């Protein structure tokens, strides 16, 4: 179910060839599963209010974290397969969803580090786990999802707080006033994932003689436009791994010390 297809190696063209350590990036992609598997659990007992509220919190967070990371692995698999086949429309569609994984983890990180009220924390975790957006006449349940842009707002706040570590007050003010870079990366990838101009760049080209030509091969796109398609993937993996460790260290979580759930992966 959770395959780990290796990404095909290739060299870049032009100026990017000397600026990017592609071998290191390829290895990061191939090793992504190993970097997060210790944070994924199964057979998790969802405790009720007859037990400690601290345990009720940990059980719900452990479920949310595990399902979110397993989804990340499946999206990563789809992206690798798409890249191996030069299928960029599929790749960008999956990358858009993949970048929403660190947004969820960023929201959770902000939530557990800045709140002492377990009732409030559990309520928000339930919304992340069970919420849906309205969809007209289609059934969506009674729990309203948290807006994706709100998740990214929290992620950028966490990212900036980390960036402020060991900085002066003036440096921190400058960081916090700066661009919400992760929201911007997500917005950029959405332009490649939706039916926009950027999305069509891998489909065809409009020549100077006003003739549009469908592309027959995307090898050139793949080897020349690394910064278009790979940066979000690499940053997403880095942030997912970092936030998993940050969540685990939180005193309320403490490595899920109140839980006895087995790890999903035993290899």
Q: What is the model's pTM? A: 0.94
pLDDT tens readout for residues 121-130: 999 999 999 9
Q: Residue 137 pLDDT > 90, yes or no?
A: no
List residues bridging with 238 in a β-sheet.
none
Give domain limits for the chain. Answer: 40-249
Q: DSSP label at 203? A: T
Q: Closest Cα to residue 107, out of 70, 75, 61?
A: 61
The DSSP string of 235-263 is: HHHHHHHHHHHHHHHSTTTTTTTT--PPB
147, pLDDT greater than 90: yes
């Amino acid at each position: 179910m959770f395959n780990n297809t290796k990404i095909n190696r290739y060299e870049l063209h032009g100026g990017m060839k000397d600026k990017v350590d592609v071998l290191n990036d390829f290895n990061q992609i191939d090793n992504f599963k190993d970097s997060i598997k210790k944070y994924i659990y199964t057979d998790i007992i969802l405790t009720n209010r007859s037990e400690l509220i601290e345990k009720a919190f940990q059980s719900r967070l452990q479920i949310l974290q595990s399902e979110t990371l397993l989804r990340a692995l499946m999206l990563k698999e789809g992206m690798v397969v798409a890249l191996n086949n030069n299928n960029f429309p599929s790749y960008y569609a999956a990358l858009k969803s993949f970048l929403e994984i660190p947004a969820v983890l960023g929201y959770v990180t902000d939530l557990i580090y800045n709140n002492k009220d377990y009732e409030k924390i559990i309520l928000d975790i339930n919304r992340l786990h069970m919420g849906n957006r309205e969809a007209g006449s289609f059934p969506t349940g009674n729990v309203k999802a948290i807006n994706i842009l709100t998740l990214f707002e929290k992620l950028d706040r966490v990212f900036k707080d980390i960036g402020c570590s060991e900085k002066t007050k003036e440096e921190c003010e400058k960081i916090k006033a700066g661009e919400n870079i992760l929201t911007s990366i997500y917005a950029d990838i959405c332009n490649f994932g939706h039916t926009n101009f950027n999305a069509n760049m891998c489909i065809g080209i409009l020549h100077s003689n006003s003739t549009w030509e469908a592309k027959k091969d995307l090898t050139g796109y793949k080897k020349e436009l690394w910064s278009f398609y790979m940066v979000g993937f690499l940053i997403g993996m880095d942030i997912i791994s970092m936030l998993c460790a940050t969540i685990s260290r939180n005193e309320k979580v403490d490595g899920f010390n109140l839980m006895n759930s087995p790890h999903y992966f035993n290899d």
